[in-house]
Amino acid sequence: MNMVIAGLGSGALVGALPAAAAAAAPRGQTGIASALTNTTKTIGGSFASSVFAIVLAIGAIQLAGSTASSLFGYYMVWIICGVGALVSAVLLFFVPKLAFADSDQVEEVVYQ
């Protein structure tokens, strides 16, 4: 059940990122914003996969001779994911209210 909730939440977040980047981009720069978002997701995913592979390999080395990682390695991967999610959730509270608004909308709100 936890994996279903995590999967749906992650999928919704990753699916919404390109739309949020495109909405926040200046007019005429939507394609560049979408490309940078996708490139960042790809690079971030490759770094995360590398870190998790190292953590799991360290667990397998500790068991010396086994082909699968220890339970500790898997726990470490989930702890890293959980801490990263919590830090991200806290950081979202510091995003300015009008961060994803068009400049026209910001001017209307500021001058009213």
Task: Quick: pLDDT tens for 12-61.
Answer: 777 777 887 887 788 788 888 888 888 888 898 899 888 888 877 776 66
pTM: 0.56
Average pLDDT, integer, range 81-99: 79
Domain ranges of the chain: 2-111
Whether the pLDDT of residue 101 is over 70: the answer is: no
The set of residues, in sequence order, having a beta carbon less than 8 Å from that of 51 and lying 6+ positions away, is: 80
State the Cα–Cα distance between residues 50 and 57, nearest whole angstrom: 10
> For residue 43, what pLDDT is reported?
92
Residue 112 has pLDDT above 60, yes or no: no
Alpha-carbon torsion, ordered 44, 96, 107, 40, to 10 deg: 0
Q: What percent of the chain has pLDDT over 70?
A: 75
| Alpha-carbon dihedral sign for residues 18, 19, 21, 26 | positive
Phi/psi of residue 64, nearest 5 degrees: 35, 100
**Residue positions counted in the chain:** 112
Averaged pLDDT of the chain = 76
Task: Say if residue 107's pLDDT is above 60.
Answer: no
Q: Who contacts 74 (Cβ-Cβ below 8 Å, separation ≥6)?
A: 56, 59
Is pLDDT at 109 greater than 80 in this prediction? no
- Most trustworthy range by pLDDT among 11-15, 58-62, 94-98, 108-112: 11-15
